[in-house]
A and B are shown apart, each in its own frame.
Chain A
Amino acid sequence: MTGVEGHTPISHPIDAPHLGDPIVRAERIEKYYGRNHVLRGMDMEVRRGEAVMLIGRSGSGKTTFLRCVNFLEEPSAGSVEIEGVRVEADPLHSRDKAHLEQIRQIRIQAGMVFQDFNLFPHMSVLQNLIEAPTRVLKVPRAEAVERAEAYLAKVGLAEKRDEYPARLSGGQKQRVAIARALCMEPKVLLFDEPTSALDPDLIGEVLKVMEELAHEGSTMIVVTHELHFAREAADRVVFLEEGRVIEEGPPEKILNDPDDDRCRQFLRRFLSA
């Protein structure tokens, strides 16, 4: 249960029988940019099937934390464990081959969807989707294509399989990017503000896909400003400020009646904006 006295050590505060065992465990993550202390001891555990939404004002460390989970950002201290593969921070970049390989294993388990899509522009949609499965997982091409078509259909873009990314709208690009992540059949999905670069009228189609995924029991960590979406799809909402978890809990609690003043203030400003 959420603590009453402000800061509490973080576990998984939701008592939800539909959630499985812990699958992601980030411990004591610290991050400095130069002398800027961006993450100050972030702990987070995510259980199988859980959809966790990170909210907070910009600069609070949400995105940095998410990028630390799959080591696109090197944490200054702490450790990340996904599906039993545990990697310690190595701020001096002195890792040997075996450790780099562990990071790659973590990335294989954690699919990521970026704010600005990052589809590969020199490849068709289908090539975007089968590149990693065939080359990383060594899935036979025919099977990878089949899988890609299935996930494209799932995000509603089956007919775009031979199109190049430049010919897609922002919403379509992001749905392809989601399908690309799904094609690796990851254990957890990381979404980094997936709708922030979209025109308002295209946000809905992306959120719809994500909501579907959440309700089907995909494990996901989502950095988002879409509070309505968080209310619908989250199992747990985590409010960050200054690189710390300030408060977390089920969406109806955090988004309606948070205990912490800073969280309340954030919501008030956000909802009135």
Chain B
Amino acid sequence: MTVAEIPQPGSLLAQIEESQARYRSIFRLKFFATWAGLIGLLLAGLYFTGNIDTAFIAEWGPFIIGGAGLTVFVSAVSIVFATILALIGAIGRLSRNPYINGIASLYVSLVRGTPLIVQIYFIYLALPQLGIVLAAIPSGIIALSFNYGAYMTEVFRAGIQAVPRGQREAAQSLGLTERLVMWRIVMPQAFRIVIPAIGNDFVAMLKDSSLVSILAVEELLFRSQLVGRQNFRSLEALVIAAAVYWLLTIIFSYFQQRLELRMARGDR
């Protein structure tokens, strides 16, 4: 390993580092200018069509945005349940026990093979016929959890299988029990592998939570539809809702990136 030099002012190394830093900051400046420019253009365009009712936005904007709380709540709870289901599902899909493997595979196949909207309706409208009556919000959460649980099952399974076999063997050769091999050696590495994919699913879930608006759950989309239709101002109402979804995913992506950096600790 070579020893890092401390650059002397004016030296070649200092000049190289300086020009690289300059390049990076110029790139960043242009990048954000592009975003700001395009978004400004879009908003200005909308505004100058003369069709934007700012009074409506001022009056109903806060009401619509208030729906974000329920959106976040439904998504967050569903994500937790989906992750638990996916962990169990993945272990089931990798099980040598034919019954457990069969149950897990059937779950994944069934849920992935039917539309989410059908699952939501099924739980809310069809189950009562069998005597199981659930309120709208629990129905939505259950449907989202089962649906994303199935997709994430496959992600977790792939992640577990992507951990090199030698890792498991090394752990076994040290006498670790199967449970320790799984939870101390395989899972932590699998988790790192799947974070980007799981992050994708989380973002998708945040947006798919809008589907529970069909059960009259007063989340973001439902509220925006409600006041938008009443006032014939769907354009404004939907732009507000879209902007909030977008903002939420940007915030989430930021935290995901930080988590990825933290988990990559051992890599360099």
The residues of A with any CB-CB pair to B shorter than 8 Å are: 70, 72, 93, 100, 104-105, 107-108, 110-112, 114, 116, 118-124, 131-132, 135-137, 164-167, 177, 180-181, 184, 190
Which chain B positions have C-beta within 8 A of A121? 189, 266-267
Asked whether, in the complex, the Cβ of B175 is within 8 Å of the Cβ of A136, the reply is yes
B139-180 contacts to A, CB under 8 A, are 164, 166-167, 169-178, 180
C-alpha spacing A70/B106, complex, angstroms: 36
Which chain A positions have C-beta within 8 A of B172? 72, 107
Contact A164 to B265, CB < 8 A, known contacts A108-B175, A135-B176, A136-B176: yes
Which chain B positions have C-beta within 8 A of A181? 173-174
Rank and list the top 7 A-B pairs by shortest CB-CB distance, nearest first. Answer: A118-B170, A108-B175, A132-B174, A112-B173, A118-B166, A164-B266, A136-B175
Asked whether, in the complex, the Cβ of A166 is within 8 Å of the Cβ of B174, the reply is no
Closest to B192 in A: A122
Which chain B positions have C-beta within 8 A of A107? 172-175
Asked whether, in the complex, the Cβ of B267 is within 8 Å of the Cβ of A166, the reply is yes
> Is chain B's interface secondary structure helix, strand, loop, or mixed overall?
helix
Chain A to chain B contacts (Cβ below 8 Å), 23 pairs:
A72-B173, A93-B96, A100-B178, A104-B175, A104-B177, A105-B175, A107-B172, A107-B173, A108-B174, A114-B169, A118-B169, A120-B170, A122-B192, A123-B266, A131-B174, A132-B174, A136-B175, A136-B176, A136-B180, A137-B175, A165-B266, A166-B266, A177-B170
C-alpha spacing A118/B164, complex, angstroms: 9
Which chain A positions have C-beta within 8 A of B170? 112, 114, 118-120, 177
Taking A120-B170, A124-B266, A166-B267 as given, write out 16 further A-B residue pairs in contact, using a Cβ cutoff of 8 Å, ordered by the A residue number: A72-B172, A72-B173, A105-B175, A107-B174, A111-B174, A114-B170, A116-B166, A120-B185, A121-B267, A132-B176, A135-B176, A136-B176, A164-B266, A164-B267, A166-B268, A184-B175
Which chain A positions have C-beta within 8 A of B171? 120, 132
Closest to B188 in A: A122
* Smallest CB separation, A82 vs chain B (Å): 12
Which chain B positions have C-beta within 8 A of A167? 268
Looking at chain B, what size class is its interface with the partner chain?
20 to 34
The residues of B with any CB-CB pair to A shorter than 8 Å are: 96, 164, 166-167, 169-178, 180, 184-185, 188-189, 192, 265-268
Which chain A positions have C-beta within 8 A of B185? 120
Which chain A positions have C-beta within 8 A of B167? 118, 120
C-alpha spacing A93/B97, complex, angstroms: 12
Asked whether, in the complex, the Cβ of B180 is within 8 Å of the Cβ of A135, the reply is yes
Which chain A positions have C-beta within 8 A of B268? 166-167
C-alpha spacing A100/B180, complex, angstroms: 14
Closest to A103 in B: B172
Which chain B positions have C-beta within 8 A of A100? 178
C-alpha spacing A204/B177, complex, angstroms: 34
The contact of A132 among B175, B189, B266, B267, by CB within 8 Å, is B175
C-alpha spacing A119/B170, complex, angstroms: 8
Which chain B positions have C-beta within 8 A of A108? 174-175
Which chain A positions have C-beta within 8 A of B173? 70, 72, 107, 110-112, 181, 190
Closest to B170 in A: A118
C-alpha spacing A132/B173, complex, angstroms: 10
C-alpha spacing A137/B188, complex, angstroms: 22
* Smallest CB separation, A6 vs chain B (Å): 35
C-alpha spacing A118/B96, complex, angstroms: 25
C-alpha spacing A120/B176, complex, angstroms: 13
* Smallest CB separation, B236 vs chain A (Å): 49
Which chain B positions have C-beta within 8 A of A105? 175
Asked whether, in the complex, the Cβ of A122 is within 8 Å of the Cβ of B175, the reply is no
* Smallest CB separation, B57 vs chain A (Å): 49
Interface centre among B96, B172, B175, B178 (most CB of A within 10 A): B175
The contact of B266 among A112, A118, A122, A190, by CB within 8 Å, is A122
Which chain B positions have C-beta within 8 A of A114? 166, 169-170
C-alpha spacing A184/B184, complex, angstroms: 17
C-alpha spacing A124/B172, complex, angstroms: 19
The contact of A122 among B96, B164, B180, B189, by CB within 8 Å, is B189
* Smallest CB separation, A148 vs chain B (Å): 13
